[in-house]
Amino acid sequence: MPEKPEVMIGGNFTLDECIIEALPNNISRVVRADSYGTSAWNRTARIITELANGNEKRFFVKCHEGERGKVMVHGEYEAEVEIHKVMPGFIPAPLAWGQCRATSPPKFFILKDFCDMTSHLPEPVQFCEKLARLHAMSRSPTGKFGFHVPTMQGFVAQTMDWDSSWASFFSKMLAGLVEHDLTVNGRWTEYEDAVTRTQAIVIPRLLGALETKGRTLVPKLIHGNLWEENCGTSLETGEVQVFDACSFYAHSEMELGMWRSERVRFRSKTYMRQYLRNVGISEPADEFDDRNRLYAVNYNINRSIQQAASYTREK
């Protein structure tokens, strides 16, 4: 087995030894590591290496601090491993996650293949066809809704306990978000009353209908945080790529809830129509818009938590 490269390398980003040890064994040396891109809660870098044959190979690393950082990188790694299993051409390959050595506070990393991407909106036909294939080809390992580790949308942990009922799973996930929101933004009687009615009446009626009258709902792997900031087009291949996943097995229409947000450019009907051309609408089809509105609430509450006192909460 080849020896790992020396720790002393060029660039403005200091690579922890554990990150270097996580690089593939066919790397002969690390050339440099430089800060790359922007992120709200972490530090990111591009690593340039040299293979044994002299060719260049690039990687991407993201580092988070503390216990929350550990949950974030572990969840992101596991989510992207699942997507890569189903659609390897849809996401840069996740390679490793782990804890850095000798840092205080503790620091955790996720290592991936690097993909140089455009920042433009993806071409709708290719993007929606690939997303539809991810949903169609994926299968829950338990046959239930949920995920095997917690995942985080932004810095907010999602309730991921396995559940055979989509209505039950969604209700528990929503309850976890609301509890977090009340802690961050304070009590609000009208809001809490609306949540209680939603859980007691709306969710059982609207989501329960997906699994009554002979209907069945198969859990599908979703990205979980899919908007224009978490996808791009490879400059090398022209293929649409996604990243920063916080996946779980869900009703596939859950993926579209974020697209209802006013701040998301996927709100354009072009993307919704193109996606639905590939997969169709779950029955009862005439309740699709009501379900989409309900799923959007999940993402709006998450944004309210991450941007305390924002207008999102009132809307």
Output the pLDDT for position 192: 96
Q: CB within 8 A of 136, min separation 6: which ones?
A: 220, 279
Is the Cβ–Cβ distance between 222 and 310 less than 8 Å?
A: no
pLDDT tens digits for range 115-135: 999 989 999 999 999 999 999
Radius of gyration (Cα) for the chain, nearest Å? 21
Average pLDDT score over the chain = 93
H/E stretch holding 1: none
Residues with Cβ within 8 Å of residue 52, at least 6 apart in sequence: 2, 26, 28
- Highest mean pLDDT among 125-129, 155-159, 268-272 belongs to 125-129
CA dihedral 147, 148, 152, 157 (to 10 degrees): 100
Each residue of 25-73: pLDDT tens digit?
Answer: 999 999 999 999 877 678 999 999 999 899 999 999 999 999 999 999 9
Contact criterion met (CB below 8 Å) for 118 and 235: yes
Q: Of all residues in the chain, what percent carry a pLDDT higher than 70?
A: 95
Alpha carbons within 13 angstroms on the beta-carbon side of residue 167 total 16
The pLDDT-based confidence of 5 (bands split at 50, 70, 90) is very low
**Amino acid (one-letter) located at 197:** R
Tokens of 3: 């020896």
- Name the pTM for this structure: 0.93
pLDDT of the residue at 1: 46
Q: Per-residue confidence at 248, pLDDT binned at 50, 70, 90?
A: very high
